[in-house]
A and B are shown apart, each in its own frame.
Chain A
Amino acid sequence: MPVDIGTLDTFPKLLAHHSQVRGTLAAIREKDLGVWQTWSWGRFADEVRALACGLAAHGLDHGAHLAIVGDNRPRLYAAMCAAQCLGAVPVPLYQDAIATEIAFPIQDAEIGFAMAEDQEQVDKLLEILPQCPSLKRIYFDDPRGLRNYPQEALTSYEKLQDAGRAFDAANPGFFDGIVARGVGSDAAAMFFTSGTTGNPKGVVLTHTALIDRAHAAAQMEGLSDSDVVLAYLPPAWIGQNIFSYAQPFVTGYCICCPESAETVMADMREIGPTYYFAPPRVLEALLTTVSIRMEDAGTFKRKMYLYFMEVAKRVGARILDGQSVDAGDRLLYRLGDILVYGPLRNVLGMSRVRVAYTAGEAIGPDLFVFYRSIGINLKQLYGSTETSVFVCIQPNGQVKSDTVGPAVPGVELKFTPQRELLIRSPGLFREYYKNPQATADAKDAEGWFHTGDAGYFDPDGHLKIIDRVKDVGALTDGTLFAPKYIENKLKFFPYIKEAVAFGDARDRACVFINFDMEAVGNWAERNNLPYAGYVDLASRDEVYQLVGDCIAKVNLDLSQDPELANSQIHRFLILHKELDADDGELTRTRKVRRGYIGERYQSLVEALYAGRQSVHVEAQVRYEDGRTGSISADLKIRDAKTFPVAAAKRAA
């Protein structure tokens, strides 16, 4: 039963609605003392009311900010809503941030009140107290270890609620009045973006923006109050906040808070969420766990697993998409479901998952298809903090591994001539807090948000994000050249660790390759290829053959895409050393520094384009103990297999 978001235009109004309509249904659960403890919507509303009145009694005003520092906890979510009741703005902060990182947002937004989860967070806040004169009150949820803290600024959650109940009794009508006065255009929350350069920026989102997007996506997926979500990612991240706050408030579903970060897997199995989000790295870690355990399993089980996973790979995703599959395969898949896929989903805690999303970075096709093939409806979405997440979602039955789907209803998309994606949506942020310059740079006069992402629509109208705009170039024939897109495609192969693509303002694309020492070393052992180390393997024709096959597959893939077909990789070489952050070739977060590598290995780049078959190289390397040495080697350069452009294929 959809709610009327026209009249229920703020989160506190939605909460009041749910406490009337489904007051006894579960709103939020938390595992405590080994038992799942439940707050009904009615209880949730009571908690929020007492908190809000307490905060009002302590002087939290309309437009002021309440910092929320901690993990997913019912009381912290209640505090978030309590602030919103008063027209104040909750500012969730990352619970694993160090004290100095927390100081900036508190100073920037002149935050006067903070709700902390436990002693750890309280200690951080007390540490920065001298630098943050605005911070007057710190509330805490878990009193453990805080009993003897003498600081006057500290108040427990219970004491705050007691003050609130007294205030409520003395001022009847205050709470209902202030909730009723809230409007959708009020700021609902502020999220600080990580900010790779310079200070983080506070993204201000209104009630209308968050509720509209949460509602649109919920409608699209048919979410209802019978859905269940496990809240296990940081609540300071917009994604978790949408799934564990905005969407349950719109649909009335129940969220569950795990006992601790280590128990997430077990808690997930107990809860059996129906709606699930995981970034690719989490999905990859889960798959690795499964693969390792399967390798330790008995021969019979392992063979059965491999056989049925092959069946799943062939037909699983097609069955999920409702495409026609012949009866024999269908029967086999059903048998596999009983023997393998069902138990596997159960182990992963995904038996009941109806809708699962992944986003945040590019996901490898094999990884993506693995989950889909065992019957988990994993889909991609596109969005950011500034857009209240939902910009594009893959609709059921139209899922591809390399697009993020068409625009969610309500969103307009267009591209600049430089292929930068612009977004206009009711979910857009209001502003960067106290930063009109950055706001004006990001959002133009007509309300288009400049994402900085480059992409285009594929023939089915699905958005395909390829790179950041500033990194996208063009070949001399004008073909789009998206180095990161090509590099990512290569890196999805387990054998390839790093790739560096060149091609901007050149006539064709070429790449440097770093293979994955562990994977290729393992492969070499299995193929009876003796080797001395990385440099040795890097000079082997067999390894060139192996890498060449990977590149050919990428080229085949690229040739299917009319936009990118000409940027197929023509030549490649395997670098004689592994790219290293200590040598400045990678950033500390392991992103390749393409420009720097291009300069440093200029002779190699020239050799690639000069058509030579080998090149001599001498390079400085910095060892871990700080000494420097040099490596010299003759590198081979090979041509890669390319494919004719398959432009006509789509017409059929």
Chain B
Amino acid sequence: MSGGATVERVTGEVIIAVEGVSLAFGGVKALSDVSFDVREHEVRAIIGPNGAGKSSMLNVINGVYHPQRGTIRLKMDGTLREFHDMDPHEVALSGIARTFQNLALFKGMSVLDNIMTGRNLRMHSNILLQALRLGPAAKEEIEHREAVERIIDFLEIQAWRKTPVGRLPYGLQKRVDLGRALALEPSVLLLDEPMAGMNVEEKQDMCRFILDVNDHFGTTIVLIEHDMSVVMDISDRVVVLDYGRKIGDGTPDEVRGNQAVIDAYLGVSH
């Protein structure tokens, strides 16, 4: 924002609390005793070298993996509540949406339809009414279409509304993926490497969209990212993982000065 709008960042109460989480696949320890929290309205980054357990951490929050030890508490109806063994469907219903590192879009479907699938959880009329577009279903569809159009407008992808996703360049597909997650109207958005494989310009665009989502909808953002300059620029707080352990936690400046983090990234002689 070259206009120099300096905005005081306001973050709220803890919305996700991860406490002592350990996750192992057989003998492989993906996460061991990781604790951190995410506050309402913040941009929270999870960083770490390859294989540090970042995606596993996201999958734990997302309900894809169930940790062997530790608890995860989510804020629901105003209070933090512990949950066990929630599956992704239930997590999504509780207001947490995500995007994927390797994109999981329907390649043959248009941008519009892909984003519309994100509305699926919010559709209430039964499948028969939907198929026949009868009464309430038609009305509902118009409402959902409007919500989708707002997202298309927000992400500036009007020109590709009816283009099959498979024909779009990678950077745009990432944007569609974000659009589909937004369609859920989530309170928390988990982004798995939203900037991977993008050129500088696409990265800048994506940063702007993430910050806009955070600002405009008040969505809490948890993101995994490799590009340090991006992380340092847009996050409020950063968690650093290495070999499944948390080695740093704090504001970008604090993390930058943390000796353990520097060692993990630059290597250290033993």
Q: Which residues of A contact B212 (CB under 8 A)?
A: 144-145
Cβ A123 vs Cβ B216 within 8 A: no
A113-156 to B contact mask, C-beta < 8 Å, 1/0? 00000010011001100000000000000001101111100000
Q: Which of B70-78, B129-137, B156-164, B253-261 contacts A (4 or more CB under 8 A)?
A: B156-164
Q: Which residues from 225 to 265 on chain A have a C-beta closer than 8 Å to any C-beta of chain B?
A: 259-260, 262-263
Shortest distance in angstroms between B255's beta carbon and chain A's nearest beta carbon?
26
Assuming the A-B contacts A144-B216, A148-B215, are A34 and B161 also in contact, with contact meaning beta carbons closer than 8 angstroms in the complex? yes
Q: Beyond the given A262-B158, A263-B159, please list 10 additional residue pairs across the A-B interface where CB-CB is below 8 A.
A: A33-B149, A34-B145, A34-B158, A126-B2, A126-B4, A127-B3, A147-B215, A147-B216, A262-B159, A263-B158
Chain B nearest CB: distance from A271 CB in Å?
15
Which of B152, B156, B158 has most A Cβ within 10 Å? Answer: B158
For B3, B146, B150, which residue has the most chain A Cβ atoms within 10 angstroms? B3
**B152's contact among A34, A123, A266, by CB below 8 Å, is which?**
A34
Report yes or no: B3 in contact with A148, Cβ–Cβ below 8 A.
Answer: no
With known contacts A147-B216, A148-B7, A32–B153 Cβ distance under 8 A:
yes
In the complex, the 3 A-B pairs of residues with the closest C-beta atoms, listed nearest first: A262-B159, A33-B149, A126-B3
- Residues on B with C-beta less than 8 A from A263 are 158-159
Distance of A563 Cα from B5 Cα, bound (Å): 63
Number of B positions contacting A (CB below 8 A):
21
Would you call B159 and A122 a contact (CB within 8 A)?
no
**Chain B residue with the shortest CB-CB distance to A258:** B158
- Report the separation of the CA atoms of residues A248 and B98 in the bound assembly, to the nearest whole angstrom: 48
Residues of A within 8 A of B150 (CB): 33
Nearest A residue to B148 via CB reads A34
Residues of chain A contacted by B215 (CB below 8 angstroms): 145, 147-148
User: Judging by beta carbons under 8 Å apart, are A127 and B161 in contact?
Assistant: no
- Chain B, range 1-39, C-beta contacts under 8 Å to A: 1-7
Task: Identify the closest chain A residue to B212 (Cβ).
Answer: A145
What is the chain B residue whose CB lies nearest that of A122? B3
Chain B hits for A119, CB < 8 A: 3
Q: Are A260 and B3 in contact (CB-based, < 8 A)?
A: no
In the complex, which residues of chain A have a beta carbon less than 8 angstroms from the beta carbon of B7?
148
Residues of A within 8 A of B156 (CB): 260
List residues of chain B with CB within 8 A of the CB of A31: 158
What bracket does the count of chain A residues touching chain B fall in? 20 to 34
Is there contact, CB below 8 Å, between B153 and A33? Answer: yes
- Docked-complex contact B159 and A260, CB < 8 angstroms: yes
List of A residues within 8 angstroms of B154 by Cβ: 144
B153 A149 Cβ-Cβ under 8 A: no
Q: Considering only CB atoms, which chain B residue lies closest to A142 in the complex?
A: B153
- Chain A: which residue is nearest B160 at the CB level? A262
CB distance from A470 to the nearest CB of B (A): 41
Q: Which residues of A contact B146 (CB under 8 A)?
A: 33
Closest chain A CB from B83 CB (angstroms): 34
Contact string against B for A residues 33-45, beta-carbon threshold 8 Å, 1 for contact and 0 otherwise: 1110000000000
- Contact indicator per residue, chain B 196-220, by CB within 8 Å of chain A (1) or not (0): 0000000000000000100110000
B11 nearest CB across to chain A (Å): 15
Expressed in whole angstroms, the minimum distance between the Cβ of A266 and any Cβ of chain B is 7
Q: How far is the CB of A428 from chain B (nearest CB, A)?
A: 40
B-side contacts of A262, CB under 8 Å: 158-159
Closest to B145 in A: A34
Contacts of A32 in B (CB 8 A): 153
Instruction: Give the docked Cα–Cα distance between A260 and B153 (Å).
Output: 10
Complex Cα distance A145/B6, Å? 12
- Hey, which chain B residues are within 8 Å of A126, CB to CB? 2-4
A34-B2 contact, Cβ under 8 Å, with A260-B156, A260-B158: no
Given the complex, which residues of A lie within 8 Å of B161, measured CB to CB? 34
- The distance in angstroms between the C-alpha atoms of A33 and B159, with both chains bound, is 12
- The chain A residue with its CB closest to the CB of B156 is A260
Whole-angstrom distance between the alpha carbons of A163 and B2 in the complex?
A: 29
> Which of B4, B5, B149 interacts with A34 by CB under 8 Å?
B149
Residues of A within 8 Å of B4, CB to CB, are 126
Cβ contacts under 8 Å, A122 to chain B: 3
**In angstroms, how far is the closest chain A Cβ from the Cβ of B234?**
14
A266 to B163 CA separation, bound complex (whole angstroms): 12
Q: How far is the CB of A567 from chain B (nearest CB, A)?
A: 47
A–B pairs, 7, beta carbons within 8 Å: A33-B152, A126-B4, A144-B212, A145-B212, A147-B216, A260-B158, A266-B159
Q: Which residues in B have their C-beta under 8 angstroms from that of A149? A: 3, 5
Shortest distance in angstroms between A528's beta carbon and chain B's nearest beta carbon?
37
Q: How far is the CA of A31 from the CA of B153 in the complex (A)?
A: 11
Q: Given the complex, which residues of A lie within 8 Å of B216, measured CB to CB?
A: 144-145, 147
Q: A32-B153, A33-B150 are in contact. Are A148 and B158 (CB under 8 A)?
A: no
A259 adjacent to B158 (CB under 8 Å)? yes
Q: Report chain B residues within 8 Å CB of A150.
A: 5-6
Which A443-493 residues have C-beta < 8 A from chain B?
Answer: none
For the complex, give the distance between the alpha carbons of A126 and B6 in Å.
13
CA–CA, A150 to B159, complex, Å?
33
Alpha-carbon separation in the docked complex, A144 to B211 (Å) = 12
Contacts of B153 in A (CB 8 A): 32-33
Distance in angstroms from B152 CB to nearest chain A CB is 7
Question: Which residues of chain A come closer than 8 Å to B149, judged between CB atoms?
Answer: 33-35
Query: Given the complex, which residues of B lie within 8 Å of A147, measured CB to CB?
Result: 215-216
Q: Which residues of B contact A266 (CB under 8 A)?
A: 159
Question: A33-B153, A144-B216 are contacts. A123–B159 as well, Cβ < 8 Å?
Answer: no
A33→B150 CA distance, assembly (Å):
6
Residues of chain B with a CB closer than 8 A to A260's CB:
156, 158-159
Q: Is the CB of A127 within 8 A of B2?
A: yes
- Tell me, in angstroms, the Cα distance from A149 to B1 when the chains sit together: 10
Q: State the Cβ distance, A224 to closest chain B Cβ, in Å.
A: 31
CA–CA, A31 and B145, complex, Å:
15
Closest chain-B Cβ to A550's Cβ sits at a distance in Å of 39
Residues of A contacting B3 with CB < 8 Å?
A: 119, 122-123, 126-127, 149, 151
Nearest residue in A to B1 (C-beta to C-beta)?
Answer: A123
Residues of B within 8 A of A145 (CB): 1, 212, 215-216
Q: Residues of A contacting B159 with CB < 8 Å?
A: 259-260, 262-263, 266
Q: Which residues of chain B in 132-187 are interfacial with respect to chain A, using CB atoms and an 8 Å cutoff?
A: 145-146, 149-150, 152-154, 156, 158-159, 161
Chain A, residue nearest B112 (CB): A34
Nearest neighbor of B162 in chain A, beta-carbon distance: A266
Whole-angstrom distance between the alpha carbons of A145 and B215 in the complex?
8
* B211 closest partner in A (C-beta): A145
Expressed in whole angstroms, the minimum distance between the Cβ of B10 and any Cβ of chain A is: 10
Q: How far is the CB of A268 from chain B (nearest CB, A)?
A: 13
CA distance A568 to B156 in the complex (A): 53
A33 and B4 CA atoms in complex are apart in Å by 30
Contacts of B2 in A (CB 8 A): 123, 126-127
CB nearest to B149 among chain A residues: A33
- Complexed CA–CA distance, A35 and B158 (Å): 11
A77, B168: Cα distance in complex, Å:
34
Please, how many angstroms separate the alpha-carbon atoms of A126 and B1 in the complex?
11
Closest to A260 in B: B158
- Name the distance in Å between A589's Cβ and chain B's nearest Cβ: 24
Q: Max chain A CB contacts within 10 Å: which of B1, B150, B212?
A: B1
Which of chain A's residues has its CB closest to B7's CB? A148
- Chain B's closest residue to A146 (CB) is B5
The CA-CA distance from A310 to B1 in the complex, in Å, is: 55
A148 to B212, CA, bound (A): 11
Q: In the complex, what's the smallest C-beta–C-beta distance from B9 to chain A, in angstroms?
A: 10
* Bound: A133/B216 CA distance, A: 31
Least CB distance, B2 to chain A, in whole angstroms: 5
> Which B63-113 residues sit within 8 Å CB-CB of chain A?
none
Specify the chain B residue showing the minimal Cβ separation from A33.
B149
A127 CA to B1 CA in the complex, in Å? 10
How far apart are A107's CB and chain B's nearest CB, in angstroms? 19
Please give the distance in Å from B240's CB to the nearest CB on chain A.
29
- Bound state CA distance, A32 and B149, in angstroms? 9
Chain B min CB distance to A267 (Å): 9
Please measure, in the bound complex, the distance between the C-alpha atom of A122 and the C-alpha atom of B158, giving whole angstroms. Answer: 22
